[in-house]
Chain A
Amino acid sequence: MAKILDKNHSNHTKLVKLRQSYDWLSEELIGLTEIYESKKQKELNKFIASANKKLEKSAFLACDKEGYAQSELEAKLQKYDVRAYMSQRKINHSAVKAIFKAVAAGEDYSAVLEKRSAEMKALNEKRAKYIAALESKKQAFLAKNNVTDTAPYDALKAELDAQYSAKKKELDEKYGAKQAAHAAKLEAKRSKISAQIAELKKNSPAAYTLPDDVLLEVKGLKMYFGGLKAVDDLNFTVKKGEIFGLIGPNGAGKTTVFNCITQFYKPTGGEIHFATKDKEVISLTDFEVHDIVLQGISRTFQNIEVVKEVSVLDNLLIAATRHYSSNLFVQMLHLPLLRREERMITARADKILNYMDLYSYRDRLAWGLPYGVLKRIEIARALMCNPQLIILDEPAAGLNESETKDLAALINKIRTELGCTILLVEHDMSLVMNICDHICAISFGRKLADGTPAEVQASKEVQEAYLGVGGE
């Protein structure tokens, strides 16, 4: 409780909020062009549709009179056939009913069949008559318009083209101005927020400093469960932009370390420092487990924890729960604020789904999706919160060789393209040795070796931990 009342802590909470709204505004600014473009396109499409409607008839008259007449005829005939089908069904139904009645009464039902065939015949005759009428209408039309003349079409088209370009210019100006005004408004807000952030940073002196390139520092981490020392005096640092691997035999305490970093467990002792986006160094142990995601750390789980009764898209939206600023009242009435936020976050989710090659699953329930897809959904969900550090807990568990290869490529892609730092626990040594820049090997909660993959492989302690102590 004392920590929560701490001035630095409250400053930090303010800073996180400001940073969130700053990111939000930046996202809104990027999405602005798309919104106005789509608005403009909508109006243009309306115009094109009406213009085409006007052009349609004259186009047919200009080039293919017979085709136009024939298609008109066929369209009418099709409509007629739909109606005819219904009356046919009616006849059949009543015939069947009558037959049942007759059979039940023990009478002869041949009269019913005769009546039905007569009715069908009448129907067919009616159809033939209708076709003849349409045919004569068509001939009359062709006789009336027997001269080929493309001039009216050309004139109309030129006129409409001119109208279109004028309309487009007008819309460009209108929406361009609107967009510029909107962007200026957002920009002003953003600069105000960034000024506030700078002010706040100046006022809160750093309690602890990390070297510039370090993102996460674990120092003397201890986690005891009663007498069991799951993690004992563990030290390591994760640098910005690297893929850091934590390895160790079963029961070495790797997942416990992760749970300590994400505050699922409150460590018995030791410090965990993390450099946020604002280059502010925070101690993660000061935060509640559900506040960790706000600091820029997101994680995946060893056994997949996707919500199975909602769609894949909703799974991603769940990860962005803390990004909404609308309160309960707004949510109860679905006021415009929520709708706007919903649209923006859905756009972000769509982008991530595309990035992760998951877009085809967007609206499907997560129930019953293949294992590999669920794994990718987990990573996509971790990406939803704009994290700096992604913690992957055994990402390759249960995947086959080719899937593991794809996963390695994906992790590399996320690191290079999105600039996320990745911390992973893995049993699959080929994956770890391939992609990790830095590895820390632990056993029974203690560090064995720390360094590049080659160094760790060469370490004698690591070999002993994995293979047992052997005589030379």
Chain B
Amino acid sequence: MSNRMNKYLSDSLLKQESERQGAELWGKLIKRPTFSFAVFAVVMILIQALSKAGLIGSSFVNAVGSTLIFCIVGLGFCLLLGYSALASLGTAGFIAIGSYSAYYCLAEWGLTIGIGFIVAILFAVVIGIAVGYISLRIEGIYLAIVTLGISEIIKELLSALCDTIKIKGTQITLLGIESIKLKTDVIYYGIVVILFILMFVTQNLMNSPTGRAMLAMKNSTSAAQAFGVSLMKYRLMAFTISIIYASIAGFMYMLYIRYVSNSMGNLFTLSMSLNVLGAVIIGGMKSIWGTIGGMFIIYGIDQMFLQDIPFFNENPTFITLFCGILVIVVVMFYPGGLAQLALELKYKLASRKQKIKEGIYGKDLG
């Protein structure tokens, strides 16, 4: 390049700068996590819309819907396990709280969805604080055992109260107006919207003083305490938030599936809690996208794809086997979960892009 050219370039640097700033503004918007969450929500809504148009099978959409419900649980678990290092095996019991509040509020007492939703959250807060205050003095595997026991107690109590819970379509009303009945597809949209809001909230919490305090607590309790982090307060916070998420998920599950039988099915059991734990570990404990990816692998793959394959359809236990092998492989090779894999791929792509740029402009400019 000639000297003149260099001079011209340096003189018009300001011009380029302003152009670059314009591009950066757009780039910043795209890079915002909220933008990607919104894209995800739109895609999920499109799936339902396409199924209405008859392009996608309804069983596929149902599978996506129930997976999204578990994604809500996973987000809370992400804060609990990835940020506060508290392992809970009581997720199933906490989901049951939400489901039973939905059943009692809507089917038994005839309340509206909004009130039912608030009741579910209130129950979660009360139980979260009560259980947390007793059990959060211990950590690690002991906490997991305590939560498991509490979850079993909750489940047994609830199933003794009412074994089979069922909501009729006519009982799901908005604002108490009989004529406005919410069909399953509207509930699906509701699930997507709630998931989007919770993703936004979780992302914000992770990047706030609270999230940082939780990370500090996870890494070194003594350093965290020395800098003013009250262990009990933040543990209780993480625990209660995760229970609220689980309760919301249980509520939406009841509205979406509308039928749970404790004696027949095996819904609110240890295997559900373990599945949630496994999904969060597969996806990456500290990453929202990782958690959602993990949920889609554990709950999504078998219901969406594998069930259509004749071999898996005939031998449903092989689906569990497949998921088990996947967990082993991921934990062995990518202990940080799928989030770690994605990060590595991203670096690889970036270095490849750099090479192409160098090919065009030469090494110093690229």
Contacts and interface: CB of A to CB of B under 8 A. Distances in A.
A126 interface: no
A310 B228 contact: no
A11 interface: no
A322 B222 CA distance: 16
A290 B219 contact: no
Nearest to A385: B227
**A-B pairs, 3 with minimum CB distance:** A71-B8, A305-B223, A322-B228
B228 A82 contact: no
Interface string A58-102: 011000100110110011000001100100000000000000000
A49 B14 CA distance: 6
A264 interface: yes
Contact of A301 (B213, B215, B222): B222
8 contacts: A48-B14, A71-B4, A310-B215, A322-B228, A326-B209, A328-B210, A328-B237, A334-B208
Interface of A: 48-49, 52-53, 56, 59-60, 64, 67-68, 70-71, 74-75, 81-82, 85, 262, 264, 288-294, 298-299, 301, 305-310, 314, 317-322, 324, 326, 328, 331-334, 338, 381, 385
A318 B8 contact: no
B258 interface: no
Contacts of B226: 262, 264, 289, 292-293, 298-299, 301
A291 B208 contact: no
B57 to A, nearest CB: 37
A290 B228 contact: yes
Nearest to A301: B223
A56 to B, nearest CB: 6
A332 B15 CA distance: 39
Interface centre among B2, B212, B213, by most A CB within 10 Å? B212
Nearest to A81: B360
A318 B216 contact: yes
Given A52-B15, A310-B212, A381-B227, 14 more contacts: A53-B14, A60-B8, A67-B8, A71-B8, A75-B5, A288-B230, A301-B222, A307-B216, A307-B219, A307-B223, A310-B215, A318-B227, A332-B208, A333-B204
B356 to A, nearest CB: 9
Contacts of B209: 317, 320-321, 324, 326, 331
Contact of A68 (B8, B14, B223, B360): B8
B222 A305 contact: yes
Contacts of B204: 331-334
B222 A321 contact: no
A298 B18 CA distance: 45
Contacts of B8: 60, 67-68, 71, 75
Contacts of B18: 49
A7 B271 CA distance: 52
A290 B231 contact: yes
Given A71-B4, A318-B212, A385 B223 contact: no
A317 B212 contact: yes
A321 B227 contact: yes
B304 interface: no
A248 B324 CA distance: 56
Contacts of A381: 227
A325 B182 CA distance: 41
B157 to A, nearest CB: 30
Contact of A309 (B5, B14, B213, B219): B219
A448 B12 CA distance: 73
Given A49-B17, A314-B212, A338-B208, A71 B228 contact: no
